[in-house]
Structure 1
Amino acid sequence: MRSRAGAGREDVGTPFLLLPGAGGRAWYWHRLVPELERRGHRVAAVDLPADDDTAGLEAYATVATAALDALVAAGGDGDAVVVAQSMGGLTAPLVAARRPVRLLVLLNAMVPRPGETGGEWWDAVDQAGARAALAREQGRPEDGDGETDFSHDVPPEVWAAGAEEVGDQSGTPFGEPWPLPSWPDVPTRVLAGRDDRFFPLALQRRVARDRLGLDVVEVPGGHLCALSRPAELADALDALLVAEPTRPVT
């Protein structure tokens, strides 16, 4: 396991644990980390064992929890904020069920139901239908390239650099039923990119409402907004620290 901790002063700022989506690399957060540090926070972005076919959700949660323990032990202002991108939504609540967490933030993230596999999630929420509907609305081909939907607003040089950083994603965690009996009783916020083509905003609003009883907070950018709009995302995360806590209704 490799984590990249912020280099801020000891015992200042809120600890932020950043969990990536499919491919599992801390690199995804490399533009956001310095933005959060500039706002006075301590940050750790985690590599998850995405290319290990023996690693399921338990292994992902174990790696993430160890990184959280190290982050909190290093100092900061109280319990950590756990931020999960995309597939990271399967892992983040498992961490929040194991350790005290100040806030759980889902960023363009999957929201699982108890017993549902990650593989079942796509049809259950009609991700393909929502993606096609948005393409029609915007005058784009419904069967457009998935990589473009991921990266359409990421600077080309940043996306090109990612080709060497982002690894393969094993299907093992997608085949396992999500293990919690319910969403953890932890304040939770859902951030959704208003330009997300992969998990369209309308889809994220519906899923957040139906599965958590929560509204979404819109942020600029597409599915990979930590790469395309890191400063704006850091501002949104910073603002959540003083917002009224919201708990899921499941």
Structure 2
Amino acid sequence: MTFLTDHLVVDGVRIACRDRGRGEPVVFLHGTPSHSYEWRDVVPRVEAAGHRTIAYDLLGYGLSERPAHRDTSVAAQTELLERVLDALGVGEVGIVAHDIGGAIGQRFALAHPGRVRRLMVVDTVSYDSWPSPTWRKIIDEELDDHASLSQDAFDALLTRQLRMAVADEAVMTGEVLDAYLAPHRSALGRASFFEHQVRHYDAKYTEEISGELGALTMPVRILWGERDRWQPLDYARRLAADIPGADLVVVPGAGHFVMEDAPERVTREIVDFLAAPVPRTGPE
């Protein structure tokens, strides 16, 4: 169900991870409601193209630890990313980041520009784009009373949301759907979903950096599913206008989980982006 094979203890918490290959290191950050499983069809191909690939489940997600009373907001996950890279001995890195992972990537690149060689954001949250209307309704109606949800009711709720995340709902069935639901198939898993993920759906983490995006000077590519129902394409265009030199690539017929709808196209775009030379900005 997962391609993660290793574990790290970072800042006193256990992180499930995958670190393979040689070459320029690139870290893959997943979104929500998700875990690193979303990259399963992409990361091995990027590794085969000659890159060191690093993927991990965010704290409170997937196979990583779900500690009670631990901050798992975008801001806290950004700080943890620094510690993960330090633990792996990685200095400068490329970042490929989806959904809330994109917010983490943006914040990390602004806070540590010398450590980010290049940045790709994929159907990322930004500005005031999140939570989406359906997630806002769930927050209003379920967040403070989630303990009363049965497993069947929870599975139905999350399945509805996950099927909104793909353009072709047939993709989100069978083993694929089961893999996305698997971390939440217990009382602890359901509680962790609301407390570690949904409770932190808050646009303040992107709104507070919206005026700083012009400071991003590393190469940036924005990859977006044309039919994203959670993060409308207008936000991608706004990001492309605000980030100097950023290029926007729209994937036709793909939804928010663009790597599920079009894994081959996503892989090609990532490999192409990683192959492009990075301009030298310092003295010779």
TM-score normalized with structure 2 length: 0.63
Counterpart in 2 of 1:65? 82
Distance 1:53 1:105, change over 3 A: farther
1:148 correspondence with 2:163: yes
Q: State the one-letter code of the partner of 1:211.
A: D
Q: In the TM superposition, what whole-angstrom CA distance separates every residue of 1:208-236 from its partner, at most 9, and x where no partner exists?
A: 24433644112363211223433321211
CA distance in 1, matches of 2:264, 2:205: 36
Q: In the TM superposition, what whole-angstrom CA distance separates every residue of 1:89-109 from its partner, at most 9, and x where no partner exists?
A: 221122222251111111011
Distance 1:244 1:49, change over 3 A: same
The structure with more radius of gyration: 2
CA distance in 2, matches of 1:175, 1:206: 18
Counterpart in 2 of 1:102? 117
Distance 1:163 1:103, change over 3 A: same
Counterpart in 2 of 1:172? 200
Task: Within 5 Å, give how 1:48-87 maps onto structure 2.
Answer: 48-50=58-60, 54-55=70-71, 56-73=73-90, 79-87=92-100
Unaligned runs of 5+ in 1: 113-119, 129-144
What is the CA-CA distance between 1:110 and the residue it aligns to?
1.6
Unaligned runs of 5+ in 2: 1-13, 61-65, 134-159, 185-191, 280-284
Task: Within 5 Å, give how 1:121-160 maps onto structure 2.
Answer: 121-122=129-130, 146-153=161-168, 154=171, 156=173, 157-160=175-178
Counterpart in 1 of 2:249? 217
CA distance in 1, matches of 2:179, 2:205: 34
Q: State the one-letter code of the partner of 1:239.
A: D
Q: State the one-letter code of the partner of 1:172.
A: H
1:208 correspondence with 2:239: yes
Counterpart in 2 of 1:131? none
Counterpart in 1 of 2:102? 89
CA distance in 1, matches of 2:20, 2:240: 37
Distance 1:203 1:71, change over 3 A: farther
Distance 1:42 1:165, change over 3 A: farther
* Corresponding residue SS for 1:182: helix
**2:117–2:278 CA contact under 8 A, matched in 1:** no
Distance 1:231 1:206, change over 3 A: closer
CA distance in 2, matches of 1:225, 1:93: 19
CA distance in 1, matches of 2:258, 2:205: 28
CA distance in 1, matches of 2:201, 2:82: 17
**1:54–1:172 CA contact under 8 A, matched in 2:** no
1:198 correspondence with 2:230: yes
Q: State the one-letter code of the partner of 2:124.
A: A
Q: State the one-letter code of the partner of 1:182.
A: E
* Corresponding residue SS for 2:198: coil
Distance 1:190 1:63, change over 3 A: same
Distance 1:4 1:31, change over 3 A: farther
**1:16–1:80 CA contact under 8 A, matched in 2:** yes
What is the CA-CA distance between 1:160 and the residue it aligns to?
2.4
Q: State the one-letter code of the partner of 2:224.
A: A
What is the CA-CA distance between 1:31 and the residue it aligns to?
2.5
Q: State the one-letter code of the partner of 1:188.
A: V
CA distance in 1, matches of 2:263, 2:69: 31
% identical aligned pairs: 25
* Corresponding residue SS for 1:44: strand
Q: State the one-letter code of the partner of 2:249.
A: V
